[in-house]
Structure 1
Amino acid sequence: MWALTIDQIDSRRVGDRVEPFLARVHRRLDDLGAGMHVVRAFERTVGDEVQGLLSDAALVVDLALDVVRHGGWSVGIGAGEVDEPLPSSTRAATGSALLLARDSVEAAKRRSRPVPLAVRGVDEAAAADAEGVLVLLAATAGRRSVAGWAVVDAVRATPGLRQEEVAERLGITQQAVSQRLRTALWHEEQAARPAAARLLALAAAPPTTGRRVL
């Protein structure tokens, strides 16, 4: 299982934004149809920090990258176990995933980090690899232009939509859609996301002697 602890950056200057942030997270999860994988809903835990429990690694990848994209928050991912029976509230949950999420969000808040995201797991090596892939994906997405994001969001919103249809919706040419997707490294991101999810899954399990992560 994965615990995400997400802490607001510079809240003293910009004010508490937890409630609108939680609303956006819940909308994102609803848009993804993620209900069955939300073990415990995201909620405010203390101060300007929120936390939730997820059971799907691909969903963790999507949500973490979406939070980093919009800025203003440090993301800590803890990959491990949650003690049972599960309490009704995320705040009351205990287990290695929660402890690791606390360690990871503290690491994510360090100013020396180019991307405010960190991963800690039961398998430390797999967690470090997962963090490396996620940070690379986030940094790549962070270089996208507004025009690039417009095309990416249109493609993501309707899977299977042809580039000609995307072009018509955005009022640009099909060639422009293709060029913007290439510049945004959209296809490369889609190819790398499953690797990040697989590494997160490995990070949540105790390391096995002789196991290799390729």
Structure 2
Amino acid sequence: MIGVHARYRGRDKRRADVVARSAEALATLPGVSPFEMVSVEDIRTDVDSSEAALNLVMALLSDGNWAIGLGITQNGRGVYAASDAVGTRPAQVKVGVDTRRPGTAAEDIAAVFALLGHVLHKRTLEGREATSLVRSGMNQNEAARELGISKQAMSQRLQAAGWQAEQSGWKLALHLITRAEADQPTGPAGPAAEA
């Protein structure tokens, strides 16, 4: 089972409102269950698949105001492993995984998210607009028309935004999460590995 725990680390004075609105919006992502409010700053949820977990973590990373815990376990709910893993630094993903080979999967997944977080953090507003449109399913021509720019300008925005690096990192993260979920022990649970 896979779960995600997010802790708001932003500076908004109306934290409870921001967290509640965010939980409501994020729960509309495919494969994401409604969030549990753990505290004023903390929300967590179980997800249906590796891809749903990845998309949720990417949305939280893009915002930049969340400390994120990703939990993958065969024993109990994934949110408990995620809650054990979540840290306190914004835009950082910590991972708790019960696997046959402790440590490796959690460290590798956390490393990929650190790289993806760096790419997302460096992105300009124009880059965020461009990547958002392409991620939603538009091709470059359609996205360029939507933004009122040329196809060449759209291509340049995507390149400057690190779109290719994001896509490569996304695929690698998906493979690692899927592999970690498939590599769950069948016997009694050991402690979750933390990265």
Shorter-chain TM range is 0.7 to 0.9
The equivalent residue for 1:22 is 23
Contact 2:23 2:34 in 1 (8 A): no
The equivalent residue for 2:91 is 115
Which of 127, 149, 169 is residue 192 of structure 1 equivalent to? 169
The equivalent residue for 2:189 is none
Distance 1:180 1:102, change over 3 A: same
Secondary structure of the structure 2 residue equivalent to 1:119: strand
- List alignment gaps of at least 5 residues for structure 1: 84-94, 209-214
47-56 vs 142-151, which deviates more? 47-56
Which of 24, 48, 54 is residue 61 of structure 1 equivalent to? 54
162-171 vs 140-149, which deviates more? 162-171
Which of 159, 165, 178 is residue 182 of structure 1 equivalent to? 159
The equivalent residue for 1:50 is 43
Distance 1:115 1:19, change over 3 A: closer
For residues 181 and 12 of structure 1, what CA distance do their matches in structure 2 show? 30
For residues 165 and 185 of structure 2, what CA distance do their matches in structure 1 show? 29
Offset, 1:192: 2.3
For residues 11 and 171 of structure 1, what CA distance do their matches in structure 2 show? 34
The equivalent residue for 1:162 is 139
Secondary structure of the structure 2 residue equivalent to 1:3: strand
Contact 2:15 2:40 in 1 (8 A): no
Distance 1:21 1:115, change over 3 A: closer
Give yes or no for the alignment of 1:132 onto 2:133.
Answer: no
For residues 193 and 10 of structure 1, what CA distance do their matches in structure 2 show? 25
Q: Provide the alpha-carbon RMSD of the alignment.
A: 2.3
Contact 2:7 2:41 in 1 (8 A): yes
TM-score, normalised via structure 1 length? 0.75
The equivalent residue for 2:9 is 9
126-135 vs 191-200, which deviates more? 191-200
Distance 1:203 1:148, change over 3 A: same
Secondary structure of the structure 2 residue equivalent to 1:201: helix
The equivalent residue for 1:90 is none
For residues 135 and 25 of structure 2, what CA distance do their matches in structure 1 show? 17
Aligned-residue sequence identity (percent) comes to 27
Secondary structure of the structure 1 residue equivalent to 2:51: helix
Distance 1:176 1:103, change over 3 A: same
Offset, 1:49: 1.3
Offset, 1:82: 4.7
Whichever residue aligns with residue 8 of structure 1, its letter is Y
Offset, 1:172: 1.0
Distance 1:69 1:12, change over 3 A: closer
What do residues 69-125 of structure 1 show as CA deviations (whole Å, max 9, x unaligned)? 113221100111253xxxxxxxxxxx5x344212211xx31x4xx732211101321
Offset, 1:200: 1.4
Distance 1:198 1:162, change over 3 A: closer
Distance 1:171 1:73, change over 3 A: same
